[in-house]
Each structure stands twice: as C-alpha cells, then as structure tokens.
C-alpha cells in the first residue's frame, strides 16, 4: 500500500510538472504573439533531409500583416515572391515568368506562414507543449497538412527560428534576423498583380 501511494504521488508530480512546462511554453508563445500586428525580418531557409544533410538553401526578406497577409521575397539563389493577400496565395518565379495562384485556405493550414500571419487562433490549430531541449513545440490537431510539427525558438529580440518537420522526413529551418515588431506597413505591400506576359497557373480571383 505504501509503495502504491508513492507511485501515485510520483505520477501526480510528473503530470503536474508536465502541465507546468506546457503552461510555460504557452506563455512564451503568447508573449510573442500578443498585440502582434505586423512583423518584418530577414530570413534564411534551409531544407534538411532525415540525416540533417542540407539539400536546399535560400534567403530573403519577409513581411507580415495580421490577420492573413504576408509577403516573402526570396533573393538568393533565385528571385521568387510569395504573397498572401487575405484570400489568395500567389507565387511568382521571376526566372520562369510564372505565377501560381490558389485559395489561401487550401494551402496554409498549420504552416509557418499561417502561424505568423495569424489566420486562425493557434490553440484551434495546434497542440502546444514544451519542445525537447528548448523552445515551443506545435503539433497540428488535424492531419490535413504536410507539416507534422513546428518548433519555435525565441531569443531576447523575439522569434529566432522555426523548424518545420514534414511528412516526407525533411525539416525546413527558417532563421530570422533584423526582426522588427509592429513596423508601419502599407497594405499595398501585400497586393500582387501578375506581370504582363507571365504564365498564370490557377484561377484568377
């Protein structure tokens, strides 16, 4: 009986500790996203395979206007732009002169872009817990996305990194620098008009 009571106490303490860590992770997340209206930063992006070997890298600058709008300008190694204007997602490859357009709701579920742009409340889309080691772990509640988990790391300046693991065994790492919180941004920054002569894939709104 004494042994059973000790085991029960250990289990209760373990559950209590796990809940405390989950609460701390949720608080860390809330501290960053509370009152966040706009965001801009330089970024580097790496795609790693299951053996953490780099298979792709790129860099550029991004802008966010919550809810639902963002722009990612890739400047290296290729010039590409990705826009969300609140209803549609646009991708423009300058070298190929090709534009892809599709409804944002079909492609942004549980992605880093959706997370930052605040399209949906986080606790409706993700289970929130403390990541192993450090950071905050977000696990999608539904399996309608290729993203299986997101790990967010913070520093004194705010968001430092997002690691996005996918169903194919790869991890895309976004590292941010020169981050500005709530800068004054023009909504026109998030408006995209296909260039004349560009090949458009998808139905224009």
pLDDT digits (tens, 9 = 90+) for 59-84: 999 999 998 899 999 999 999 999 99
SS3 per residue for 3-64? HHHHHHHHHHHHHHHHHHHHHHHHHHHHHHHCCCCEEEEEEEEEEECCCCCEEEEEEEEEEE
> Cα(168)–Cα(51) distance, rounded to whole angstroms?
12
Q: In the predicted model, what is the mean pLDDT of residues 113-141?
A: 82
pLDDT of residue 24: 61
């Amino acid at each position: 009986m004494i042994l059973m009571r000790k085991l029960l106490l250990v289990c209760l303490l373990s559950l209590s500790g796990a809940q405390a860590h989950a609460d701390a992770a949720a608080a860390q997340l809330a501290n960053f996203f509370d009152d966040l209206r706009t965001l801009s930063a330089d970024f580097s992006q790496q795609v790693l395979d299951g053996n953490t070997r780099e298979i792709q890298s790129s860099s550029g600058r991004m802008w966010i206007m919550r809810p639902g709008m963002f722009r990612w300008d890739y400047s290296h190694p290729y010039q590409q732009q990705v826009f969300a204007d609140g209803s549609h997602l646009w991708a423009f490859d300058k070298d190929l002169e090709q534009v892809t357009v599709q409804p944002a709701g079909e492609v942004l579920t549980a992605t880093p872009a959706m997370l930052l742009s605040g399209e949906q409340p986080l606790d409706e889309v993700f289970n929130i817990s403390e990541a192993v080691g450090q950071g905050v772990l977000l696990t999608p509640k539904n399996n309608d996305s290729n993203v299986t988990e997101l790990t967010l790391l913070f520093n004194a300046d705010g968001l430092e990194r997002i690691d996005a693991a996918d169903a194919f065994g790869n991890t895309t790492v976004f590292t941010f620098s020169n981050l500005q919180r709530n800068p004054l941004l023009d909504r026109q920054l998030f408006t995209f008009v296909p260039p004349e002569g560009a090949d458009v894939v998808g139905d224009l709104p």
